[in-house]
Protein backbone atom coordinates (compact mmCIF):
# COMPACT_ATOMS: atom_id res chain seq x y z
CA UNK A 1 0.00 0.00 0.00
CA UNK A 2 2.82 2.44 0.81
CA UNK A 3 4.41 1.80 -2.60
CA UNK A 4 1.16 2.85 -4.24
CA UNK A 5 1.07 6.08 -2.23
CA UNK A 6 4.71 6.77 -3.11
CA UNK A 7 3.91 6.39 -6.84
CA UNK A 8 0.93 8.77 -6.68
CA UNK A 9 2.94 12.00 -7.34
CA UNK A 10 4.61 10.36 -10.35
CA UNK A 11 1.23 9.28 -11.76
CA UNK A 12 -0.14 12.80 -11.30
CA UNK A 13 2.90 14.29 -13.04
CA UNK A 14 2.51 11.93 -15.99
CA UNK A 15 -1.19 12.82 -16.23
CA UNK A 16 -0.40 16.55 -16.31
CA UNK A 17 2.27 15.96 -18.98
CA UNK A 18 -0.24 14.09 -21.17
CA UNK A 19 -2.84 16.87 -20.85
CA UNK A 20 -0.21 19.53 -21.58
CA UNK A 21 1.03 17.67 -24.65
CA UNK A 22 -2.52 17.32 -26.00
CA UNK A 23 -3.09 21.07 -25.64
CA UNK A 24 0.18 21.90 -27.35
CA UNK A 25 -0.45 19.55 -30.26
CA UNK A 26 -4.05 20.42 -31.04
CA UNK A 27 -4.48 22.31 -34.31
CA UNK A 28 -7.33 24.56 -33.23
CA UNK A 29 -6.16 27.81 -31.69
CA UNK A 30 -8.27 29.86 -29.31
CA UNK A 31 -9.99 32.88 -30.82
CA UNK A 32 -12.69 35.29 -29.85
CA UNK A 33 -15.03 35.46 -32.78
CA UNK A 34 -18.21 37.47 -33.19
CA UNK A 35 -19.12 37.07 -29.57
CA UNK A 36 -18.56 40.04 -27.33
CA UNK A 37 -19.24 43.03 -29.62
CA UNK A 38 -17.08 45.24 -27.44
CA UNK A 39 -16.01 48.61 -28.72
CA UNK A 40 -12.62 49.17 -30.28
CA UNK A 41 -10.53 51.77 -28.44
CA UNK A 42 -11.39 55.37 -29.24
CA UNK A 43 -7.81 56.46 -28.57
CA UNK A 44 -5.88 58.22 -31.33
CA UNK A 45 -2.49 56.85 -32.38
CA UNK A 46 0.32 58.74 -34.09
CA UNK A 47 0.89 57.62 -37.66
CA UNK A 48 4.36 56.29 -38.46
CA UNK A 49 6.44 58.86 -40.38
CA UNK A 50 3.73 61.52 -40.11
CA UNK A 51 2.54 64.28 -37.83
CA UNK A 52 -1.07 63.09 -38.08
CA UNK A 53 -3.01 60.73 -35.80
CA UNK A 54 -5.57 58.01 -36.55
CA UNK A 55 -8.39 56.44 -34.57
CA UNK A 56 -9.89 53.06 -35.43
CA UNK A 57 -13.22 53.79 -33.70
CA UNK A 58 -15.01 54.74 -35.80
CA UNK A 59 -13.03 53.25 -38.68
CA UNK A 60 -11.70 55.63 -41.32
CA UNK A 61 -14.04 55.88 -44.33
CA UNK A 62 -16.90 54.23 -42.39
CA UNK A 63 -16.11 50.73 -43.71
CA UNK A 64 -14.99 47.59 -41.87
CA UNK A 65 -11.24 47.46 -41.32
CA UNK A 66 -8.51 45.12 -40.16
CA UNK A 67 -6.09 46.26 -37.46
CA UNK A 68 -3.04 44.05 -36.99
CA UNK A 69 -0.87 44.59 -33.92
CA UNK A 70 2.74 43.68 -34.68
CA UNK A 71 6.34 44.43 -33.71
CA UNK A 72 9.71 44.18 -35.42
CA UNK A 73 11.03 42.07 -32.52
CA UNK A 74 8.20 39.53 -32.85
CA UNK A 75 9.19 36.31 -34.68
CA UNK A 76 5.56 35.12 -35.15
CA UNK A 77 4.81 38.52 -36.75
CA UNK A 78 7.41 37.78 -39.39
CA UNK A 79 5.93 34.30 -39.95
CA UNK A 80 2.41 35.68 -40.54
CA UNK A 81 3.58 38.55 -42.75
CA UNK A 82 3.10 36.80 -46.13
CA UNK A 83 -0.57 36.24 -45.22
CA UNK A 84 -0.94 39.92 -44.31
CA UNK A 85 0.54 40.81 -47.70
CA UNK A 86 -2.07 38.59 -49.38
CA UNK A 87 -4.86 40.12 -47.32
CA UNK A 88 -3.61 43.59 -48.27
CA UNK A 89 -3.75 42.66 -51.96
CA UNK A 90 -7.31 41.36 -51.57
CA UNK A 91 -8.57 44.30 -49.53
CA UNK A 92 -6.60 47.44 -50.30
CA UNK A 93 -7.40 50.42 -48.08
CA UNK A 94 -8.86 48.17 -45.35
CA UNK A 95 -5.62 47.08 -43.68
CA UNK A 96 -4.10 49.04 -40.80
CA UNK A 97 -1.08 48.16 -38.72
CA UNK A 98 -0.39 49.12 -35.12
CA UNK A 99 3.29 48.93 -34.19
CA UNK A 100 3.21 47.69 -30.60
CA UNK A 101 5.87 48.61 -28.00
CA UNK A 102 8.49 49.13 -30.65
CA UNK A 103 10.80 51.80 -31.95
CA UNK A 104 9.29 53.50 -35.04
CA UNK A 105 12.58 53.19 -36.96
CA UNK A 106 12.69 49.44 -36.31
CA UNK A 107 9.06 49.10 -37.41
CA UNK A 108 9.74 51.03 -40.62
CA UNK A 109 12.78 48.83 -41.36
CA UNK A 110 10.70 45.67 -40.70
CA UNK A 111 8.07 46.79 -43.22
CA UNK A 112 10.69 47.93 -45.71
CA UNK A 113 12.33 44.50 -45.58
CA UNK A 114 9.15 42.38 -45.72
CA UNK A 115 6.74 44.69 -47.57
CA UNK A 116 4.02 46.93 -46.25
CA UNK A 117 0.47 45.54 -46.54
CA UNK A 118 -1.02 48.39 -44.52
CA UNK A 119 -2.85 51.50 -45.65
CA UNK A 120 -1.78 53.17 -42.41
CA UNK A 121 0.74 52.19 -39.76
CA UNK A 122 0.12 53.69 -36.34
CA UNK A 123 2.49 53.57 -33.39
CA UNK A 124 1.77 52.40 -29.84
CA UNK A 125 5.18 52.86 -28.22
CA UNK A 126 4.02 52.58 -24.60
CA UNK A 127 1.63 49.67 -25.24
CA UNK A 128 -1.44 51.30 -23.68
CA UNK A 129 -3.39 51.15 -26.95
CA UNK A 130 -2.74 47.42 -27.24
CA UNK A 131 -4.06 46.95 -23.73
CA UNK A 132 -7.14 48.97 -24.68
CA UNK A 133 -7.72 46.53 -27.55
CA UNK A 134 -7.42 43.57 -25.17
CA UNK A 135 -4.11 42.40 -26.58
CA UNK A 136 -2.62 39.32 -24.95
CA UNK A 137 0.53 39.23 -27.11
CA UNK A 138 1.61 40.12 -30.63
CA UNK A 139 0.64 39.33 -33.27
CA UNK A 140 -3.09 39.83 -32.91
CA UNK A 141 -5.60 40.88 -35.51
CA UNK A 142 -8.92 42.67 -35.09
CA UNK A 143 -11.73 43.26 -37.58
CA UNK A 144 -13.65 46.40 -36.66
CA UNK A 145 -17.17 47.03 -37.93
CA UNK A 146 -18.28 50.46 -39.23
CA UNK A 147 -19.98 51.13 -35.88
CA UNK A 148 -16.64 50.73 -34.07
CA UNK A 149 -17.30 47.32 -32.48
CA UNK A 150 -14.87 44.44 -32.76
CA UNK A 151 -16.31 41.75 -35.01
CA UNK A 152 -13.38 39.36 -34.83
CA UNK A 153 -10.29 39.02 -32.61
CA UNK A 154 -7.63 36.55 -33.72
CA UNK A 155 -4.84 35.76 -31.29
CA UNK A 156 -1.50 34.66 -32.70
CA UNK A 157 -0.29 34.42 -36.28
CA UNK A 158 -2.92 34.32 -39.01
CA UNK A 159 -3.70 31.10 -40.89
CA UNK A 160 -5.22 30.66 -44.37
CA UNK A 161 -8.56 29.86 -42.67
CA UNK A 162 -8.34 33.16 -40.78
CA UNK A 163 -7.96 35.00 -44.10
CA UNK A 164 -11.24 33.48 -45.28
CA UNK A 165 -13.04 34.56 -42.09
CA UNK A 166 -11.63 38.06 -42.30
CA UNK A 167 -12.54 38.42 -45.98
CA UNK A 168 -16.13 37.42 -45.21
CA UNK A 169 -16.38 40.31 -42.74
CA UNK A 170 -14.87 42.88 -45.07
pLDDT tens sequence across 84-131: 999 999 999 999 999 999 999 999 999 999 999 999 999 999 999 999
**Is residue 165 exposed (0-12), middle (13-18) or buried (19+ Cβ within 10 Å)?**
middle
pTM of the prediction?
Answer: 0.79
Q: Please state, in angstroms and rounded to a whole number, the distance separating the CA atoms of residues 106 and 24.
A: 32
- Cα distances (angstroms) measured from residue 129 to each of 16, 30, 41, 95, 143: 36, 22, 7, 17, 16
Residue 32: per-residue pLDDT: 42
Task: Please state which of the ranges 17-21, 76-80, 123-127, 160-164 shows the lowest mean pLDDT.
Answer: 17-21
- Does a cis peptide bond (omega within 30 degrees of 0) precede residue 123? no
Task: Please state which of the ranges 26-40, 103-117, 149-163 shows the lowest mean pLDDT.
Answer: 26-40
Residue 133: per-residue pLDDT: 94
Amino acid sequence: MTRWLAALPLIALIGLAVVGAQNLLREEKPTMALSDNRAAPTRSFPILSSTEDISFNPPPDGAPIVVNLFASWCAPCEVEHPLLMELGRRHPDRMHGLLYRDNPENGAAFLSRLGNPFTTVAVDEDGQGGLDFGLTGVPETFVIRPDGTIALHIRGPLTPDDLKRISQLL
